């Protein structure tokens, strides 16, 4: 059951789309293998771990209080567009990220960034007014050993009296700072992140240089380390462990106050956070193929009300009872507002929705033809939705289904004109056109065939669409 549904969901994703799949500890490993095959392992982003919190007093051998959320993109080439720039609310309060600043040490002590010499020139800036750091006395054996290892190991640090935490990069000369500037050249040795940007910064006379994520500058700190500072207009810090995003128990209680009963609803806070990651665009279209309690719709309506967005949603729920008594009921209440079980008036979030049902059997055969027992009403509903994206509310007693945005939509099918012959039924002929309800404006007409010539179609403002081929089944 899961495999075909996941294949279909991948087809629905935009090129810059992202999919989140919630799963428990039992099936996580199997689902990961399945998703790697369908979405491609290269498009796997991460497995988020949701700390479900909840009641930890129950006497279990091991209380499992987490679930997994697998995250894939449709195409990793569009990863930067697919993933929103979000700062996890659990980021510590004093983090520079809240101020839109990234500030980090440039040391990269690993074989991927083999150690090399960089000379800090006179005039290089420092956040400190005065710094003095005595250069280390190293020999050729030091350089040979670090070149072989591709890093400055703890053993090498110990052998040459280099501090484990603050000793990198290794100062080969005395580092002297006065009046916030380096006063004499100082050679330093180590692996560096952003080395090319560091060299550009020096060449640019210590003025910030452009970088993909914002202007970047470098400085010496109190520990005689080189750090970089970047101004980030839209900082991002997405953590793999999700904490503090509500609980199933609290969400269940909120639903009960709405008169809705559902055992394991996802909390709005969790889905809202995932939406910020995957649906940052305010006009995003979100599909939830396991709608359940309708939390996704609730979170979308809430986010739209907060930021004025126009995000839309499609919810799919296979259980008829849940879809009507839980999913639809919740969406209606949170959009329109309600009086809770305690008598409190809860203001509606706004927005609207349509409740649609699938036919018991498919309208089309595996070969794409319309099944013989399909009624006019059933096909009319399909045609109307295909043309307008809205549910059909007509009586289905006329080939004129209705008017939408200044355009009339017609369907000639199944004896709606009491005759299936070409002269009076499913084929658009001159005689048929003369007897269908008139409309002074553009028309879209679905029929099995058309006998009108191009000049007549243009004169009558008709767009002809042949059934079933124009229905893209």
Contacts of 52 (CB under 8 A, 6+ apart): 65, 66, 67, 247, 248
C-alpha dihedral (412, 413, 417, 422), degrees to nearest 10: 80
**Paired tokens of 107:** 């040391």
Q: Helix and strand tally (H, E) in the chain?
A: 14, 23
CA distances to 122, 217, 462 from 181, rounded to whole Å, are 7, 14, 77
Using a 10 angstrom Cβ sphere, with 0-12 exposed, 13-18 middle and 19 or more buried, the burial of residue 298 is buried
Q: Which two tokens stand for residue 21?
A: 């799949």
- Determine the average pLDDT of the residues in 57-69: 80
pTM of the predicted model as reported, rounded to 2 decimal places: 0.73
Q: What is the pLDDT of residues 325-349, one digit of tens each?
A: 999 999 999 999 999 998 999 999 9
pLDDT, tens digit (0-9, with 9 covering 90-100), for 7-21:
999 999 999 999 999
Cβ proximity of 424 and 418 under 8 Å? yes
Instruction: Tell the residue number behind the tokens 């499609």, with chain if given.
Output: 314
Q: Which of 334-348, 390-404, 421-435 has the lowest mean pLDDT?
A: 421-435
Confidence of residue 184 (pLDDT cuts 50, 70, 90): very high
- Residue 117 pLDDT class (50, 70, 90 cuts): very high
The per-residue pLDDT for range 19-53, each reduced to its tens digit, is: 999 999 889 999 999 999 999 999 999 999 999 98
More confident residue, 252 or 359: 252
Residue 109 — φ and ψ, nearest 5°? Answer: -90, 75
Helices (H), 350-394: 376-388
In angstroms and rounded to an integer, the radius of gyration of the C-alpha atoms of the chain is 32
State how far the Cα of 321 lies from the Cα of 262, in Å rounded to an integer: 11
């Amino acid at each position: 059951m899961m495999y075909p549904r996941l294949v279909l969901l991948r087809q629905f994703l935009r090129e810059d789309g992202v999919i989140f799949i919630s799963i428990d500890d039992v099936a996580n490993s199997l689902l990961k293998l399945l998703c790697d095959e369908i979405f491609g392992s290269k498009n796997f982003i991460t497995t988020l771990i949701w700390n479900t919190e909840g009641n930890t007093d129950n006497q279990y051998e091991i209380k499992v209080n987490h679930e997994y959320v697998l995250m894939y993109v449709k195409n990793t080439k569009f990863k930067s567009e697919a993933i929103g720039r979000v700062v996890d609310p659990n980021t510590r309060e004093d983090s520079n990220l809240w101020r839109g600043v990234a500030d980090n040490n440039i040391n990269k002590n690993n074989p991927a960034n083999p150690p090399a010499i960089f000379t800090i020139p006179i005039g290089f800036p420092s956040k400190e007014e005065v710094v003095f750091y005595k250069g280390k006395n190293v020999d050729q054996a030091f350089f040979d050993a670090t070149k072989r290892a591709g890093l400055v190991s703890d053993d090498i640090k110990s052998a040459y009296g280099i501090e484990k935490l603050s000793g990198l990069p290794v100062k080969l000369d005395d580092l002297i700072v006065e009046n916030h500037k380096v006063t004499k050249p100082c050679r330093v040795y180590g692996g560096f992140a952003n080395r090319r940007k560091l060299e550009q910064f020096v060449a640019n006379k210590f003025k910030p240089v452009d970088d993909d994520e914002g202007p970047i500058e470098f400085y010496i700190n109190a520990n005689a380390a080189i750090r970089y500072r970047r101004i980030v207009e839209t900082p991002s810090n997405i953590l793999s462990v999700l904490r503090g995003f509500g609980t199933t128990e609290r969400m269940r209680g909120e639903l009960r106050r709405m008169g809705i009963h559902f055992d394991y609803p996802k909390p709005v806070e969790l889905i809202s956070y995932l939406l910020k990651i995957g649906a940052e665009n305010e006009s995003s279209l979100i599909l939830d193929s396991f709608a359940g309690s309708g939390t996704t719709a609730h979170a979308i309506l809430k986010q739209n009300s907060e930021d004025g967005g126009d995000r839309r949603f499609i919810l799919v729920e296979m259980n008829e009872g849940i879809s009507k008594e839980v999913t639809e009921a919740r969406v209606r209440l949170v959009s329109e507002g309600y009086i809770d079980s305690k008598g409190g008036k809860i203001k509606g979030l706004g927005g609207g929705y349509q409740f649609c049902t699938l036919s018991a059997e498919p309208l089309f055969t595996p070969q794409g033809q319309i099944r013989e027992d399909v009624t006019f009403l059933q096909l009319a509903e399909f045609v109307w939705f295909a043309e307008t994206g809205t549910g059909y509310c007509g009586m289905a007693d006329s080939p004129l289904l209705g008017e939408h945005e200044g355009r009339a939509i017609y369907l000639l099918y199944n004896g709606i004109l009491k005759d299936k012959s070409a002269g009076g039924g499913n084929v658009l002929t001159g005689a048929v056109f003369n007897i269908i309800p008139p409309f002074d404006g553009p028309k879209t007409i679905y029929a099995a065939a058309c006998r009108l010539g191009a000049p007549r179609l243009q004169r009558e403002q008709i767009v002809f669409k042949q059934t079933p081929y124009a229905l893209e089944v």
